[in-house]
């Protein structure tokens, strides 16, 4: 399920002593077609974990988990059958646990979007807690790293790698990364948003000299449309350039990928499509090999 317009809380970039770390596991990446199978949260007070929440979910229509999800998470269909609770009950219990806390997560918009749509669909309630993304903060803390995925940061900080892709373990890793970034930036650090200015894709070139020529993005041309949640348009252009790719302002015959952010607030949307989406679709129909990616799918490839 996906709501037409998410009225989410505020995105913060700062260090707070009191918050809840959250993480979910799902059957896939798309809120319209996939389901939450596990929710976990850690309640933090004065920077110390004081309580934890963990719940497996037996979602509506469950028969068995896809094999690749079991391989990734270690969660089996038997676990869901024996321990899972209905989605509505899991969501109510989760909301009771986090109350009005700020929530912290890694690539947290993924978690929030799934939770928001399910909470709205099952409980008719807007999940509007303010939130902090450790992915965003890690990019500020460690600009020298090529990747800032959870696993990359776990390896960088030599953290425990047991039970990764289980929600509780990922929460614990996220909490540790949040603390490490605080040590780097200082507990009083707050991101100051600068006034927006027009960003030109042609102004961006790689800041590194060695590339993985086998990577999906290498020597590919990228266009972005809609409001990106994980990073600014400027950051997105630089990411593409640092993979040896070519950021573009608009769709043309060289374009290989169109990445779609949130289009709810775009003034260029007509019949549900932005102008760039419409042009990309027309190019596809004419035989050009353009792939259209969600922002979440783009991030998963980093």
For residue 85, count other CB atoms closer than 10 A to its CB.
Answer: 15
Q: What is the mean pLDDT of the chain?
A: 91
Cα–Cα distance measured from residue 166 to residue 172, given in angstroms and rounded to the nearest whole number: 10
pLDDT score of 36 more than 60: yes
Which residue numbers are catalytic? 165
Query: Stretch 276-287: mean pLDDT, rounded?
Result: 91
pLDDT at 264: 44
The verdict on domain 11-185 having CATH code 3.30.420.10 is: yes
pLDDT score of 287 more than 80: yes
pLDDT score of 241 more than 50: yes
pTM: 0.74
Lowest mean pLDDT among 93-107, 226-240, 258-272: 258-272
Query: Stretch 129-139: mean pLDDT, rounded?
Result: 95
Where exactly are the structural domains of the chain? 11-185, 201-300
Question: Does residue 220 contact residue 246 with C-beta atoms inside 8 Å?
Answer: yes
Quickly state the pLDDT bin for 120 (edges 50, 70, 90).
very high
Lowest mean pLDDT among 7-16, 72-81, 151-160, 273-282: 273-282
Tens of pLDDT, residues 264-273? 434 444 456 7
Cα–Cα distance measured from residue 236 to residue 165, given in angstroms and rounded to the nearest whole number: 25
What are the counts of helices (DSSP H) followed by strands (DSSP E) for the chain?
10, 10
- List beta partners, residue 53: 41
pLDDT at 266: 42
The top-level CATH class assigned to 201-300 is alpha beta
**Domain 11-185 matches domain 201-300 at the CATH topology level:** no
Among candidate residues 151, 141, 145, the one with its CA nearest the CA of residue 300: 151
Measure Cα distances from 223 to 75, 92, 227, 228, 267 in Å. 37, 39, 13, 12, 18
| Nearby residues of 57 by Cβ (< 8 Å), 6 or more positions away | 35, 36, 37, 38, 39, 80, 84, 85, 86, 87, 90
Quickly state the pLDDT bin for 274 (edges 50, 70, 90).
confident
pLDDT score of 290 more than 90: yes
Query: Stretch 38-61: mean pLDDT, rounded?
Result: 97
Query: Stretch 227-242: mean pLDDT, rounded?
Result: 90
Tens of pLDDT, residues 165-204? 899 999 999 999 999 999 999 999 998 766 666 889 999 9
53 φ/ψ angles, rounded to the nearest 5 degrees: -130, 135
């Amino acid at each position: 399920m996906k709501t037409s317009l998410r009225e989410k809380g505020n995105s913060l970039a700062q260090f707070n002593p009191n918050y809840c770390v959250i993480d979910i596991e799902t059957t896939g990446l798309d809120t319209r077609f996939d389901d939450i199978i596990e929710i976990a949260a850690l309640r933090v007070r004065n920077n110390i974990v004081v309580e934890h929440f963990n719940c497996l979910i037996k979602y509506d229509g469950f028969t068995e988990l896809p094999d690749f999800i079991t391989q990734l998470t270690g969660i089996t269909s038997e676990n869901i059958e024996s321990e899972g609770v209905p989605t509505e009950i899991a969501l109510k219990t989760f909301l009771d646990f986090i109350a009005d806390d700020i929530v912290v997560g890694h690539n947290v918009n993924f978690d929030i979007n799934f939770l928001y749509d399910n909470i709205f669909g099952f409980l008719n309630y807007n999940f509007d807690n303010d939130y902090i993304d450790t992915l965003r903060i890690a990019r500020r803390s460690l600009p020298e790293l090529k990747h800032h995925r959870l696993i990359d940061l776990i390896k960088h900080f030599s953290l425990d790698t047991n039970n990764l892709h289980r929600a509780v373990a990922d929460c614990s890793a996220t909490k540790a990364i949040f603390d490490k970034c605080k040590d780097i930036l200082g507990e009083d650090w707050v991101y100051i948003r600068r006034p927006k200015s027009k960003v030109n894709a042609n102004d961006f070139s790689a800041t590194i000299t060695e590339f993985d020529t086998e990577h999906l993005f290498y020597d590919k041309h990228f266009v972005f449309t809609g409001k990106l949640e994980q990073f600014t348009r400027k950051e997105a252009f630089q990411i593409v350039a640092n993979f040896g790719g070519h950021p573009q302002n608009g769709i043309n015959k060289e374009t290989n990928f169109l990445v779609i952010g949130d289009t709810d607030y775009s003034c260029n949307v007509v019949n549900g499509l932005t102008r760039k989406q419409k042009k990309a679709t027309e190019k596809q129909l004419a035989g050009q090999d353009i792939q259209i990616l969600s922002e979440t799918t783009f991030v998963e490839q980093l």
